Amino acid sequence: MGDEVRVPIVYDTDIVAARSEGRRMALELGFSRTDATLLATAISEVARNILIHAREGIITISSSLNDEIAEIVVVATDEGPGIQDVEMALRDGYSSSGGLGLGLPGVRRLMDEFRINSEDGKGTEVSMTMWRRQ
Amino acid sequence: MPVPILKQGDFLIATVQSALSDREVLQFQDDLAERVGSFRSRGVILDVTALDMMDSFVSRAFRSMALMAKLKGAETVIVGIQPEVAFALVQLGLTLEGVNTALDLEEGLAFLRSLTRRRTDGR
Ligand SMILES: Nc1ncnc2c1ncn2[C@@H]1O[C@H](COP(=O)(O)OP(=O)(O)OP(=O)(O)O)[C@@H](O)[C@H]1O
Ligand SMILES: [Mg+2]
């Protein structure tokens, strides 16, 4: 069983759309309300990062379920300026834009797996996973 | 208006009805600042029972709303934060530091009344 949804992030209302899709898919997969909320919060943060730091991008949410594991994978991609120093961006309190710099380190705590691929000048891909044993 | 703000005596009660976009959050922030000033309110209740998550943007906005209200002489209480929403906030690394919270509307009102009563007594 599986499902995949792509949400283009262009306007602020798309942030709401992306996190609602994530919540819906998590609940459909049998995740708890708490897990669905953690996921929605993480999606909201990466979606806003796209809007603020890269102007636009796409969030793909896919779910899969087998005998052992239920899993949701979220991939946020954009062709914005990229992140020069990923290590630094993952530090609590680092922000290039006067934000709190909590987003990325916080998202890492909300999710089970978290990875950033970014090349300076060539965009950013954040992929993150939440999984639960059946 | 995405968030209705009702006047009840010295207090304002703002009830978030559904998920808010960033723009709606900013609109709400402006509306509330304007009301607190024009009604010279002493207290603000921010009812977020309907919110199914709070991310860094919205919690930052709520914190600055509370601060802004305070500068205008009104104390703010956020009521109705769902347990899983509070849990996600903590995981994210955020605290609603310096913001009063209460379980529900009733408790929030009781808190505001006790505050304003204390202030009046002290005068
Ligand atoms: N999609 C992206 N494209 C380019 N740079 C990004 C992207 N996402 C994050 N960054 C960079 O990483 C930094 C840290 O991101 P993070 O989300 O932790 O903080 P923030 O967005 O600046 O502040 P906050 O999320 O607390 O409002 C950002 O300031 C920005 O420089
Ligand atoms: Mg951010």
Residues of A in contact with B19 (CB under 8 A): 16, 20
For A45, nearest residue in chain B (alpha carbons): B55
Residue A102 or residue A40, greater confidence: A40
Rounded distance between C-alpha atoms, residue B52 and residue B71, angstroms:
29
Smallest CA–CA distance, residue B60 to chain A, in Å, is 9
Percent of chain A with pLDDT over 70: 100
The residue to mutate among A43, A49, A111, having the most atoms of ligand 1 within 8 angstroms of its beta carbon, is A49
Tell me the mean pLDDT in the region B42-57: 96
Tell me the mean pLDDT in the region A42-60: 97
The mean of the pLDDT values for chain A is 95
Residue B117 or residue A129, greater confidence: A129
On the CB side of B107, how many CA atoms lie within 13 Å of its CA?
Answer: 10
Q: Which residues contact B106 (CB under 8 A, 6 or more apart)?
A: none
Q: Could you give the angle at the alpha carbon of A38 between the alpha carbons of A37 and A40, nearest 5°?
A: 60
Least confident of A21-25, A99-103, B7-11, B50-54: A99-103
ipTM surpasses 0.85 = yes
Of the candidates B18, B83, B92, which has an alpha carbon nearest to the alpha carbon of residue B51? B18
Rounded distance between C-alpha atoms, residue B54 and residue A41, angstroms:
7
- A94-109 per-position pLDDT tens digit: 888 877 788 999 999 9
Rounded distance between C-alpha atoms, residue A3 and residue A6, angstroms:
10
Q: How much is the pLDDT for B121?
A: 65
CB A114 within 8 A of CB A133: no
Of the candidates B55, B70, B15, which has an alpha carbon nearest to the alpha carbon of residue A18? B55
Q: Is the confidence at residue A64, as pLDDT, over 90?
A: yes
**Would you call B22 and A110 a contact, using CB atoms and an 8 Å cutoff?**
no
Q: How much is the pLDDT for B34?
A: 96
Q: How much is the pLDDT for A58?
A: 98
Q: Is the confidence at residue B122, as pLDDT, over 60?
A: no
User: The domain B5-121: what is its CATH number?
Assistant: 3.30.750.24
Q: What are the distances in angstroms from CA B55 to CA A39, A121, B110?
A: 11, 28, 28
Which fold would CATH assign to domain A2-133? Heat Shock Protein 90 (3.30.565)
Q: Domain-by-domain residue ranges, chain B?
A: 5-121
* Res. B104 pLDDT band, cuts 50 70 90: very high
Q: B76 exposed, middle or buried (CB, 10 Å; 0-12, 13-18, 19+)?
A: buried
Element containing residue A85 per DSSP (H, E)? none
* Res. B22 pLDDT band, cuts 50 70 90: very high
Least confident of A123-127, B26-30, B112-116: B112-116
For B95, nearest residue in chain A (alpha carbons): A102
Decide whether any atom of ligand 1 lies within 6 Å of the A131 Cβ: no
Give residue for tokens 């309300």: A33
The alpha carbon torsion through B63, B65, B68, B69 (nearest 10 deg) reads -110
Q: Which of B48, B57, B97 to mutate to test the interface with A (most CBs of A within 10 A)?
A: B57
Rounded distance between C-alpha atoms, residue A7 and residue B96, angstroms:
30
Q: Is the confidence at residue B96, as pLDDT, over 90?
A: no
Q: How much is the pLDDT for B80?
A: 98
On the CB side of A70, how many CA atoms lie within 13 Å of its CA?
Answer: 13
